[in-house]
Amino acid sequence: MTFGEKLSQLRKESNYTQEQLGELLSVSRQTVSKWESDIAYPETDKLVKMGTLLGCSMDYLLKDEVTDKNSTAPVPPASQQEENSITIKFGNLRIKERKSEKTVFGMPLYHIGKNAEGFFAVGVRAKGVFSVGLLSKGIFSLGLLSMGLISFGMLSLGLVALGTFALGLIGIGAIALGLFAVGAISIGVVSVGALSFGLFSLGAMARGIFIAIGDNAGAMLAIGKTEAFGSVYQHIGELKDANLPLIRLLLETDVPAFLGWARDIFCAIAGI
Q: pLDDT of 183-195, one tens digit each?
A: 999 999 999 999 9
pLDDT, one tens digit per residue, over 23-48 is: 889 999 999 999 899 888 888 888 88
Asked if the model's pLDDT at residue 59 lies above 90, the reply is no
Q: Span 71-93, mean pLDDT? A: 45
Residue 95: pLDDT band (50, 70, 90) is low
- Average the pLDDT over 119-145 and give the result: 91
CB 10 within 8 A of CB 18: no
User: What is the predicted pLDDT for the residue at 31?
Assistant: 92
Task: Give 62's pLDDT tier (boundaries 50, 70, 90).
Answer: confident
Task: Flag whether pLDDT at 79 surpasses 70.
Answer: no
Q: What is the mean pLDDT of the chain?
A: 87
Over its C-alpha atoms, the chain yields an Rg (Å, rounded) of: 30
CA–CA dist 180, 22 (Å, integer): 53
The average pLDDT across 162-177 equals 94
Q: Which CATH superfamily is domain 3-81 in?
A: lambda repressor-like DNA-binding domains (1.10.260.40)
What mean pLDDT is predicted for residues 140-158? Answer: 92
Flag whether pLDDT at 213 surpasses 70: yes
Examine the pLDDT at 114 and tell me if it is beyond 90: no
Taking the model in full, what pTM does it have?
A: 0.59
Query: What pLDDT does residue 48 have?
Result: 85
pLDDT at res. 224: 96
The one-letter amino acid at 61: L
What is the pLDDT confidence band of residue 230, given thresholds at 50, 70 and 90? very high
pLDDT at 78 over 70: no
CA pair distance 69, 61, nearest whole angstrom: 8
What pLDDT sits at residue 113?
Answer: 83
Sequence-ordered list of residues with C-beta below 8 angstroms from that of 55, at least 6 positions apart, any chain: 10, 14, 69
Burial class (CB in 10 A: 0-12, 13-18, 19+), 52: middle
pLDDT at 54: 87
pLDDT at 96: 62
Q: What are phi and psi of 11, to 5 degrees?
A: -65, -45
Q: Is the separation of the CB atoms in 197 and 182 below 8 Å?
A: no
Domain definitions of the chain by residue range: 3-81, 165-270
Distance of CA 226 to CAs 204, 223, 261, Å?
10, 9, 29
Q: Please provide residue 71's backbone torsions phi and psi, each rounded to the nearest 5 degrees.
A: -75, -20
Region 240-252: what's the mean pLDDT?
93
- Position 67 confidence tier, pLDDT thresholds 50, 70, 90: confident
Distance CA(10)–CA(54), nearest Å, equals 6
Q: What is the mean pLDDT of residues 263-271?
A: 94
